[in-house]
């Protein structure tokens, strides 16, 4: 990963990524004396049960004595959970690993003087270079390090929030006076690549469903996934009721299962219900682009290592704002073939001005071919004007010409100048014979 130039430098950079350490886990071959010295059922024998424990416990307590200078602790089980091989011992990161957008890059940088002479007046710089920019992380120009003795070291730790994808280079440079008084320049480069950790797909109407997919190599613990609605909108997250709260009655506590997205393609969905904050903002809906808001995602990996991302503005599909709406209120439960039946409908004026008069008819839509449910009687029904935000009920006589499951479709309301306001969605009915 490091490319250092050839040449006689007294100094050299050593670099180690300092992400969080991890817990070491490795179930060992550790034994309880009662499982090795004797047969497994020997304690059924009352003589053995009475006489064995002293011998066995002597062995164990010897190994637990801090003055014991044997390796008994590597072989005997001193506590049942020793069998887990998970003592809480932390292990330093053993490799650079993968790094993702939204995480924090942290590195230990050590500049060593591996010569036999002192070096002086060292100006050290550390920068991150990406395609787009150069970010300074450390610069000792204003107060250079006075000296580093032979065999000595100057250490620093740098942190950088990763906000770009792709190739990154950690550029470490040192400008120093070596033992001959010569001013030398040492650059060293450490390259790494930043990948995309998540993809977010959304689907919505007045509900927003976000599907988060994990592209990393580790499981992600979803700390917070929040939808920040745009002004005019309010959002409520919808959650399923917990199926099995791990409720332990003896301890009286709820053990909350974590939300973990599996590595390499695991998916978690989140559902939000969006409401307009006030009726006035209905105007915003009509005016074209419909910004709903952004998703803020915070996740954690090993030992709480934090990652954060925000999506771009999520847009809603332009909502067709209904000025006039047709709804079916009631359909008779029994509908007979070739017999007229009455359907109760409602027309609502959602605007702030009086509209109408209206015409309700069955649209001649060639896609559906011949209709099996038709208006009985006059093919156009005329309705008088309806005031602002008011509604009007009416009845339509229909007749079905075929048996079985049929559709009432194509009922349209328009104004007298042929402007269509609304098309009633298809409704299924069952037509029986007499």
Partner 1 sequence: MEEPSPSPDPPTNQFGSLNDLAHELASLEDLATRGSWRSILDKVSRARSLNLLTSPHDHLIYLSYNVLAFSKLRRFSEASNEIDTLDDFNSNYYKYETYPRLYPNRSGSMIPFSLRFIHAQLPIKLGNRQEGLDRFYLLLKFIREKIKEKESNNLRDSVRIWKRRENSILNCLIGHHLGDKEFSLCLDLIKDLINRDYLDPVLVSKLGYIQMQIGDIEGAKGSFNRVETMLNEKRSYEYFLGEVQFRNLVNRNKALVYLVGKDYVSAVREYEECIERDHTDVVALNNKALCLMYLRDLSDSIKLLEKALERIPTIALDETLVINLCSMYELAYVNHSEIKRTLNNWIVHVAPDDFDASCTRV
Q: Which of residues 54-93 bind partner 1 (CB under 8 A)?
A: 55, 59, 62-63, 66, 68-77, 79-92
If binding is defined by CB under 8 A, does position 302 make contact with partner 1?
yes
Please report how close the Cβ of residue 224 comes to partner 1 at its closest, in angstroms: 11
- Structure token digits, residue 300: 């954690």
CA distance 197 to 261: 12
Please report how close the Cβ of residue 34 comes to partner 1 at its closest, in angstroms: 6
* Among the residue ranges 126-134, 155-163, 226-234, 361-369, the one whose residues contact partner 1 (CB under 8 A): 155-163
- How would you classify the pairing of strands 220-229 and 267-276? unpaired
Helix, strand, coil content of the chain in percent (nearest 5): 10, 50, 40
Is 220 exposed, middle or buried, given 0-12, 13-18 or 19+ CB atoms closer than 10 A?
buried
List residues bridging with 295 in a β-sheet: 227
283, containing H or E segment: helix 282-286
Please report how close the Cβ of residue 364 comes to partner 1 at its closest, in angstroms: 59
* Among the residue ranges 150-158, 269-277, 289-297, 348-356, the one whose residues contact partner 1 (CB under 8 A): 150-158
Please report how close the Cβ of residue 88 comes to partner 1 at its closest, in angstroms: 5
- Asked whether 11 and 119 are in contact (CB, 8 A), the reply is yes
46, containing H or E segment: helix 46-64
Q: Which of residues 396-425 bind partner 1 (CB under 8 A)?
A: none
**If DSSP codes are grouped into helix, strand and coil, which group holds residue 25?**
coil
CA distance 286 to 150: 74
CA distance 188 to 165: 22
Please report how close the Cβ of residue 306 comes to partner 1 at its closest, in angstroms: 9
List the x/- string, 259-288, binding to partner 1 by CB under 8 A: -x--x-------------------------
37: left (phi over 0), alpha (psi -120 to 50) or beta: alpha
If binding is defined by CB under 8 A, does position 301 make contact with partner 1?
yes
- The residue among 18 and 331 lying less far from partner 1, judged by its C-beta, is 18
Q: Which of residues 90-149 bind partner 1 (CB under 8 A)?
A: 90-92, 94, 108, 110, 112, 114
CA distance 411 to 414: 10
Neighbour tally for 27: CB within 10 Å: 10
* Among the residue ranges 206-214, 216-224, 231-239, 344-352, the one whose residues contact partner 1 (CB under 8 A): 216-224
**If DSSP codes are grouped into helix, strand and coil, which group holds residue 303?**
helix
End-to-end CA distance of the chain: 86
Tokens 């920068």 appear where? Answer: 127
List the x/- string, 168-207, binding to partner 1 by CB under 8 A: ----------------------------------------
- The residue among 62 and 134 lying less far from partner 1, judged by its C-beta, is 62
If binding is defined by CB under 8 A, does position 32 make contact with partner 1?
yes
For partner 1, the binding residue among 1, 3, 5, 25 (CB under 8 A) is: 25
Please report how close the Cβ of residue 279 comes to partner 1 at its closest, in angstroms: 39
Dihedral (CA of 277, 281, 285, 287) sign: negative
* Among the residue ranges 13-21, 186-194, 226-234, 313-321, the one whose residues contact partner 1 (CB under 8 A): 13-21
For partner 1, the binding residue among 1, 16, 237, 329 (CB under 8 A) is: 16
* Among the residue ranges 171-179, 251-259, 288-296, 394-402, the one whose residues contact partner 1 (CB under 8 A): 251-259
Please report how close the Cβ of residue 160 comes to partner 1 at its closest, in angstroms: 15
Neighbour tally for 251: CB within 10 Å: 8
If binding is defined by CB under 8 A, does position 24 make contact with partner 1?
yes
Please report how close the Cβ of residue 166 comes to partner 1 at its closest, in angstroms: 26
């Amino acid at each position: 990963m490091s490319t250092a130039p050839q040449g006689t430098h007294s100094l050299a950079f050593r670099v180690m990524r300092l992400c969080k350490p991890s817990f070491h886990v490795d179930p060992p071959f550790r034994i309880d004396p009662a499982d090795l010295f004797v047969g497994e059922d020997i304690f059924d024998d009352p003589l053995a049960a009475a006489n064995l424990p002293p011998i066995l416990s002597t062995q164990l307590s010897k190994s637990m004595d801090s003055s014991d200078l044997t390796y008994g602790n590597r072989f005997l089980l001193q506590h049942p959970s020793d069998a887990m091989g998970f003592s809480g011992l932390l292990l330093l990161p053993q490799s650079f690993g993968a790094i993702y957008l939204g995480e924090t890059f942290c590195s230990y940088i050590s500049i060593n003087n591996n010569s036999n002479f002192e070096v002086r007046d060292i100006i050290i710089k550390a920068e991150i270079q990406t395609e787009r920019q150069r970010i300074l992380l450390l610069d000792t120009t204003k107060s250079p390090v006075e000296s580093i003795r032979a065999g000595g070291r100057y250490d620093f730790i740098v942190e950088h929030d990763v906000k770009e994808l792709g190739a990154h280079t950690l550029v470490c440079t040192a400008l120093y006076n070596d033992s001959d008084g010569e001013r030398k320049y040492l650059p060293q480069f450490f390259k790494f690549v930043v990948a995309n950790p998540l993809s977010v797909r959304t689907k919505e109407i007045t509900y927003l469903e976000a599907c988060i997919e994990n592209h990393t190599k580790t499981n992600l613990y979803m700390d917070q996934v929040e939808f920040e609605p745009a002004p005019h909108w309010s959002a409520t997250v919808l959650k399923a009721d917990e199926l099995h709260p791990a409720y332990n009655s003896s301890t009286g506590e709820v053990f909350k299962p974590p939300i973990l997205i599996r590595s390499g393609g695991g998916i978690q969905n989140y559902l939000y219900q969006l409401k307009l904050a006030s009726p006035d903002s209905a105007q915003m809906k009509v005016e074209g682009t419909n910004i709903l808001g952004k998703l803020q995602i915070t996740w954690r990996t090993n030992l709480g290592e934090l990652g954060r991302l925000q999506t771009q503005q999520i847009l809603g599909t332009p909502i067709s704002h209904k000025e006039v709406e047709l709804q079916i209120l009631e359909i008779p439960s029994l509908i007979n073939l070739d017999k007229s039946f009455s359907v109760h409908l409602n027309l609502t004026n959602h605007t702030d001005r009086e509209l109408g008069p209206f015409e309700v008819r069955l649209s001649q839509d060639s896609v559906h071919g011949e209709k099996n449910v038709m208006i009985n009687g006059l093919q156009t029904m005329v309705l008088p004007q309806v005031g602002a935000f008011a509604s009007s009920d009416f009845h339509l006589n229909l007749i079905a010409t075929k048996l079985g499951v049929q559709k009432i479709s194509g009922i349209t309301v328009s104004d007298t100048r042929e402007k269509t306001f609304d098309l009633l969605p298809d409704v299924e009915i069952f037509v029986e014979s007499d």
